Structure 1
Amino acid sequence: MRQVDHWIGGQRTQGSPKTMFEVTDPVAGSVIAQVPMASGSDVDAAVGAARSAWEGWREASISSRAAVMFALRELLEEHRLELAEMVSAEHGKVREDALGEMRRGIEVVEFACGVGQLLKGERTDDISTEHDAYTVRQPVGVVAGITPFNFPAMVPMWMYPVAIACGNCFVLKPSEKDPSVAVRIGELFADAGLPDGVFNVLHGDADAVNALCEHPGIDAVSFVGSTPIARHVHRTASMAGKRVQALGGAKNHMIVLPDADIGQAADAAVSAGYGSAGERCMAISVVVAVGAIADDLSGAICDRIDALRIGPGLGAEPVDMGPLVTAEHRDRVLSYIDLGESEGAVVLRDGRELVVDGHPDGYWVGPTLLDEVSTEMKVYEDEIFGPVLCLVRVESFEEAMELIENNQFGNGVALFTRDGGAARRFRREAPVGMVGVNVAIPVPMAYHSFGGWKDSLFGDHHMHGPEGIRFYTRLKAVTEHWPDPADRGVDLGFPTAR
């Protein structure tokens, strides 16, 4: 049985695990590895390694930090297929999807390569007589990153390249469901010249999460996951005096206006709804059809669903969608389809009885389309996180906007239209953090920042991009006085500009 290790202080270690977690192959339904669940001493060891490394790393020149990022970028490109296949083997997503995940993660590393420009402060000479003022950004210390199963390579890369380039040290707690790629990247970081202890990988469960949130050696916490846990992490770590950014769940809507290109909208809905088996926080899970186009749109979506190829993501034959990550998650998604049908939704395409030849024990759920969904249904309210697309029919643009405004989440939203006035109003008024116009998955490039509003974000800062720099550094203002030797004397008055 393959053993997955922690990566602590620049080396693999099993530590002193309290238990072992079984990693499964989502295609075969069999156990393929065991990963240690960290004990309290393991948490202390990882944080201790990071704290020991921090004094040296914070003093490293910006040029030397950038050099490590450039080297890491080249190694990630060189090993991109290897890393993508590690993701596919444990998560279940198809190879091309995993390669895309790696590409978007590497873009954040490329952003971090420019840290020399990104950390430049502001200066004002002679802000007062014989006084100069300037600002600098300094690292916060040791950062914990807690990340979900759905993007085991990309989501951590939203965090640690920026944090480490800014001079911080990092302890990553990835999902135990697909843990291997994080450790392999730890090895590549070492090959890139990163000093031991600057980047650490600690596997664990809820106890490890709580320990990191409360640990006195952790200065900041970055989290991505469900809203209930994001709220818990934000509360727990904030109470412990830490800086926190916690990204939560989503229920992303895609509004299709009557003037939209139906084919384009259907392509986008199927791609955004069923890519990665719907296990994306930016997946479209609700299509809002405005006016008389609903029947044409649902028919076009069904045609495209029928053409999708479902199967092993690493198989010889090309496929569009793989299995869900675990049997438990599959059963949860199936229960929502049952619930939607019992609530009165019309099941236009049913993924409950999907059979994949040669893989009877895989965690399969086929693309599912529920029509006539209302806002009172649980399938509308809850984040299902699977290949289940809900179709809601409304009569007007105003009614569609009310759905967005009343939803508890504010992660992503999209509008498909040819009307520039409607598009401008939509992007100005939608109370959502990431907005797409004729773009179904409006995930910002690395040079901008990722994050939602409402119950999709707890904390003030979004991830990567300029917001990432702000989160992983503290701003310091410096005022200097170099008086003329002839200008001396005691002045007890309050200092003012003159």
Structure 2
Amino acid sequence: MRQIDHFIVGKMPPAARFGDVLDPNNGGVQARVGLGDAAVLAQAVSAAQAAQPAWAATNPQRRARVMFRFKALIERHIDELAEMLSAEHGKVIADSRGDIQRGLEVVEFCCGIPHALKGEYSQGAGPGIDVYSMRQPIGIGAGITPFNFPAMIPLWMGAVAVAVGNAFILKPSERDPSVPNRLAELFQEAGLPAGIFQVVHGDKEMVDAILDHPAIAAVSFVGSSDIAQYVYSRGVAAGKRVQAMGGAKNHGIVMPDADLDQVVNDVCGAAFGSAGERCMALPVVVPVGEETAERLREKLVSAIHALKVGISTDADAHFGPVVTAQHKAKVEGWIQTAVDEGSELVIDGRNLVLQGQE
């Protein structure tokens, strides 16, 4: 059984607990990931504290050169990363490449970080008073990221934190942990000093350790609204800066003069791309007026029937499996709730069987 460990500096402590990493295409266990605790985090923090001052003292141009090399390495390994991502998440390869590409765009922004780090100077702000501001790293930041974008969101957080001179500790979802580890390896290959970008794996125990550790100055989180509330409350109580981005399901309003062919294309991409496991999934679409609703429904039904469901490696599939059997059961429960509450069920995919992939 393949084992996924933390990516931290120093000798790897033996894991006392493990989580299963599933293959969404068949529901089987493909690997196990070590679930860390406060002791593992303390080791990562100690390494970050040792490495961060010298990295912060490195001039921005030199830090930017590391980002340039990191960008080139991601581009070189994008197929490998996409296959790794699809194997643990279940989204099709095209969606996985998009996941990586959207993170890569932030890495690309970080290649110009010297300009973003410039401060300001105001002469004569008051009688004999000049005012200036400087941008300085805060020390150690941490990111707690969700399963649905295991490349994009860690890169959004970690690339910027590192580029401006901080050390960064990432706690990705334990459901698909391999891509974050591989990104950490590529960071070091690009020339990032050991200890500046580390990955710790775990569940709530690790999250709490991050929120409580006094040396971690800031935490960024993306996930459900309930957990975002928890992360924010506990993090700020410990004196940290906290970004807590919660549930972001979007709604779509369709006006009577809308181009319905474009609407259908956009709605299908949003609702079914990545099997709907993303913030742009548009779970609710509201057409304005009965006529608009009927025309949209007719076009949507035809478009949905034309979608091909497949496994994540199927190049012709529009979407693959959701991440776990529990997630599938939850979606089926929402469909049944809609029926129980009086909705008209126009399309029911609950009994879909893929030949050869039963």
Contact 1:38 1:208 in 2 (8 A): yes
Aligned to 1:312, what secondary structure does the other structure show?
Answer: coil
- Alignment partner, residue 181 of structure 2: 183
Give the Cα separation in 2 of the matches to 1:221 and 1:39. Answer: 17
- The aligned amino acid for 1:301 is L
Give the Cα separation in 2 of the matches to 1:234 and 1:281. Answer: 20
- Residues 34-54 of structure 1 show CA distances to partners (whole Å, capped at 9, x for unaligned) of 100002211111122112211
**C-alpha displacement of 1:98:** 0.5
Contact 2:44 2:169 in 1 (8 A): yes
- Alignment partner, residue 36 of structure 1: 34
- Residues 290-346 of structure 1 show CA distances to partners (whole Å, capped at 9, x for unaligned) of 11211110111110000001011213x511000000111111111111111111111
Contact 2:37 2:209 in 1 (8 A): no
- The aligned amino acid for 1:4 is I
Contact 1:18 1:39 in 2 (8 A): no
**C-alpha displacement of 1:122:** 1.1
Query: What is the aligned counterpart of 1:100 among 84, 98, 101?
Result: 98
Give the Cα separation in 1 of the matches to 2:249 and 2:150. Answer: 21
User: Is structure 2 residue 313 aligned with structure 1 residue 314?
Assistant: yes
Query: What is the aligned counterpart of 1:137 among 127, 135, 139?
Result: 135
Aligned to 2:141, what secondary structure does the other structure show?
Answer: strand
- Alignment partner, residue 3 of structure 1: 3
Q: What is the CA RMSD across the aligned residues, in angstroms? A: 1.3
- The aligned amino acid for 1:349 is I
**C-alpha displacement of 1:133:** 3.0
Aligned runs of 1:276-291 on 2, under 5 Å? 276-291=274-289
**C-alpha displacement of 1:15:** 2.4
| Runs of at least 5 residues in structure 2 that lack an aligned partner in the other structure | none
**C-alpha displacement of 1:266:** 1.3
Contact 1:23 1:178 in 2 (8 A): yes
- The aligned amino acid for 2:223 is G
- Alignment partner, residue 302 of structure 1: 301
Q: Under a length normalisation based on structure 1, what TM-score does the superposition of the two structures give?
A: 0.70
**C-alpha displacement of 1:140:** 1.2
- The aligned amino acid for 1:118 is A
**C-alpha displacement of 1:236:** 0.4
Give the Cα separation in 1 of the matches to 2:293 and 2:124. Answer: 65
Give the Cα separation in 1 of the matches to 2:168 and 2:86. Answer: 25
Contact 2:271 2:280 in 1 (8 A): no
Aligned to 1:137, what secondary structure does the other structure show?
Answer: coil
Aligned runs of 1:10-409 on 2, under 5 Å? 14-127=12-125, 132-291=130-289, 292-315=291-314, 317-360=315-358
Taking a change above 3 Å as real, the CA distance of residues 294 and 127 of structure 1, as seen in their structure-2 partners, is: closer
- Residues 461-496 of structure 1 show CA distances to partners (whole Å, capped at 9, x for unaligned) of xxxxxxxxxxxxxxxxxxxxxxxxxxxxxxxxxxxx
- The aligned amino acid for 2:5 is D
- Residues 421-464 of structure 1 show CA distances to partners (whole Å, capped at 9, x for unaligned) of xxxxxxxxxxxxxxxxxxxxxxxxxxxxxxxxxxxxxxxxxxxx
Aligned to 1:320, what secondary structure does the other structure show?
Answer: coil
**C-alpha displacement of 1:14:** 4.6
Contact 1:175 1:203 in 2 (8 A): yes
**C-alpha displacement of 1:183:** 0.5
More strand by share: 1
Aligned to 1:34, what secondary structure does the other structure show?
Answer: strand
Give the Cα separation in 1 of the matches to 2:125 and 2:300. Answer: 62
- Residues 140-166 of structure 1 show CA distances to partners (whole Å, capped at 9, x for unaligned) of 110010000000000111101111111
**C-alpha displacement of 1:251:** 3.1
Give the Cα separation in 1 of the matches to 2:12 and 2:87. Answer: 22
| Runs of at least 5 residues in structure 1 that lack an aligned partner in the other structure | 361-498
Aligned to 1:99, what secondary structure does the other structure show?
Answer: helix
Aligned to 1:222, what secondary structure does the other structure show?
Answer: strand
What is the aligned residue count? Answer: 357
Taking a change above 3 Å as real, the CA distance of residues 27 and 235 of structure 1, as seen in their structure-2 partners, is: same
- Residues 77-100 of structure 1 show CA distances to partners (whole Å, capped at 9, x for unaligned) of 000111011100000000001011
- The aligned amino acid for 2:109 is F
Largest Rg, 1 or 2: 1
**C-alpha displacement of 1:217:** 1.4
Q: Under a length normalisation based on structure 2, what TM-score does the superposition of the two structures give?
A: 0.97
Contact 2:144 2:222 in 1 (8 A): yes
**C-alpha displacement of 1:357:** 1.5
Higher deviation after alignment, 224-233 or 113-122? 113-122
Equivalent pairs: percent with the same residue? 49
More helix by share: 2
Aligned to 1:143, what secondary structure does the other structure show?
Answer: strand
Give the Cα separation in 1 of the matches to 2:328 and 2:206. Answer: 25
- Alignment partner, residue 422 of structure 1: none
- Alignment partner, residue 394 of structure 1: none
- Residues 339-359 of structure 1 show CA distances to partners (whole Å, capped at 9, x for unaligned) of 111111111111100111112
Give the Cα separation in 1 of the matches to 2:14 and 2:104. Answer: 33
**C-alpha displacement of 1:5:** 1.4
- The aligned amino acid for 2:103 is G
Give the Cα separation in 1 of the matches to 2:172 and 2:31. Answer: 15
Contact 1:277 1:323 in 2 (8 A): yes
Aligned to 1:209, what secondary structure does the other structure show?
Answer: helix
Give the Cα separation in 1 of the matches to 2:236 and 2:159. Answer: 23
**C-alpha displacement of 1:288:** 0.3
